[in-house]
Amino acid sequence: VYRYGFEGVIFKMPESQKTKIAVIGTGTWSTNMHQPVLKRLIAEDLIEVVGACDLREDAAASYARELHCQDVFTDPATMIEKTDPQGVIILVPTVVSAELIRQVAALGKPFMVEKPPAPSSEEHQQLIDIVGDLTHLVAYNRRHSPYITKARELIAQEKIQVLSCHFSRSRRRDPDFSTTAVHAIDTMRCLAGDWARMRLESCWTGEVLNFFIDGWTVEGARIDLQITPDTGSGEEHYFIRTHEANVFVVFPHWSLADYPGYVEVRRGKIECQRFGPAEMDLDPNDRALLSGIYHEHLAFLRALRGEEPAASTLRTTLQTQVIREELKKVIDSGQRKMLVEVSF
Ligand SMILES: NC(=O)c1ccc[n+]([C@@H]2O[C@H](COP(=O)([O-])OP(=O)(O)OC[C@H]3O[C@@H](n4cnc5c(N)ncnc54)[C@H](O)[C@@H]3O)[C@@H](O)[C@H]2O)c1
């Protein structure tokens, strides 16, 4: 007998039922955030890592060693053929992800892939067609993070009036910040549903390109998003207002000043309740847990075992990709000020 869910493992899996996982891509994010989770899932007897693959054989070998795995590869197709995993985890740069999804899907292997899963919405749509009903999960980690899950519980069944997000970073003048800003877009969609209309303004303030999005969801919630990559300090705050509750999420991204964050609910004019790591029994030093990586792996395992379909799929995250692409077009245009209006 076993059970594992949002709370983590309650009963352990019998040895024979461990899920066989193979990993492609053992770079920075994979090592810092996914490897600790894989270690934990191995310790919880839920999985066995049967292969690790990277173009850099040394990196794959040291990654595999940490996970008690002997089999190291530099070619994904060879790894899949030799190890026959039940699930493949794709943790490579976005420009490579789409090709690997094609390869993995052609071999009929369920997969989890880091966000965004393709460099364009056109390629994303092609992947939807290729992948069909094959089990997969697109790893937008915030969807699975304990605070966002808590926020969704706190407003369950209620109509959102307004959803705002301040998504700031410090000294992040990346050539393409859209692949980071995509987190705010996807989290807002996860909280309030698909968007019906948006207005995107971009403007260079001095040497910094900022983005401001407002619009409406299909359900009629007003959305308001500020994306500011280079400010005094990073913050990622979500504000959700319904008739009964105002919910405030201080998202626990490891590089932000207000880590480890909290969720707060305010009701009845003055009543206020805060849920942080202590109240939610979460380890404040466990970045992968707080940011949602552990629970996204659990969601993938539940999908692999046919217990619960993954909610974060290529199909359900297509609009996230379309909105991200609007940001990218603005960046590529090089214009100092732009206003774009989109109806979906
Ligand atoms: N969820 C988040 O907040 C978050 C944060 C950072 C990165 N990411 C995502 O994680 C992914 C990986 O990012 P990273 O920072 O680890 O990148 P990285 O450049 O540090 O590592 C990527 C690794 O993939 C390997 N690789 C590339 N092509 C390959 C191939 N064909 N076969 C096997 N290995 C291959 C490279 O050798 C490298 O080791 C990206 O998709 C990125 O968008 C997500």
Residue range 98-140, pLDDT digits in tens: 999 999 999 999 999 999 999 999 999 999 999 999 999 999 9
Quick one: pLDDT at residue 58?
A: 98
At 15, the pLDDT band (50, 70, 90 cuts) reads low
The structure tokens 């039940």 sit at 86
Q: Which amino acid is at 80?
A: I
Q: Considering only CA atoms, which residue is closest to atom 37 of ligand 1? A: 55
Residues in contact with ligand 1 by the CB-under-6-Å rule are 24-30, 53-56, 59, 76, 91-94, 96-97, 114-115, 141, 179
Measured CA distances, 226 to 201, 202, 339 (Å) = 10, 10, 14
In contact, 326 and 181? CB cutoff 8 Å: no
Kind of pairing between the strands at 87-90 and 111-114: parallel
In contact, 97 and 115? CB cutoff 8 Å: no
Q: Considering only CA atoms, which residue is closest to atom 42 of ligand 1? A: 93
Pocket test for ligand 1, best of 29, 99, 251, 297 (most atoms within 8 A of CB): 29
> Tens digit of pLDDT for each residue in 211-268?
999 999 999 999 999 999 999 999 999 999 999 999 999 999 999 999 999 999 999 9
- Measured in Å, residue 236 CA sits from the centre of ligand 1 at 23
Q: Is pLDDT of 2 > 50?
A: no
Q: CA–CA separation, 59 vs 56, rounded Å?
A: 5
Helix 94-106 and helix 76-83, axial crossing angle in degrees, nearest 10: 40
Q: CA–CA separation, 70 vs 139, rounded Å?
A: 26
Backbone φ and ψ for 205, nearest 5 degrees, come out as -110, 105
Pocket test for ligand 1, best of 26, 55, 92, 320 (most atoms within 8 A of CB): 92
Alpha helices in the chain (DSSP H): 28-29, 35-43, 57-66, 76-83, 94-106, 121-131, 146-154, 178-192, 277-280, 287-291, 293-304, 318-333
Kind of pairing between the strands at 208-217 and 195-205: antiparallel
- Measured in Å, residue 24 CA sits from the centre of ligand 1 at 9
Quick one: pLDDT at residue 47?
A: 97
Quick one: pLDDT at residue 155?
A: 96
Q: CA–CA separation, 285 vs 159, rounded Å?
A: 34
At 191, the pLDDT band (50, 70, 90 cuts) reads very high
Q: Which amino acid is at 112?
A: M
Quick one: pLDDT at residue 109?
A: 98
The pLDDT of 9-36, averaged and rounded, is 84
Quick one: pLDDT at residue 243?
A: 97
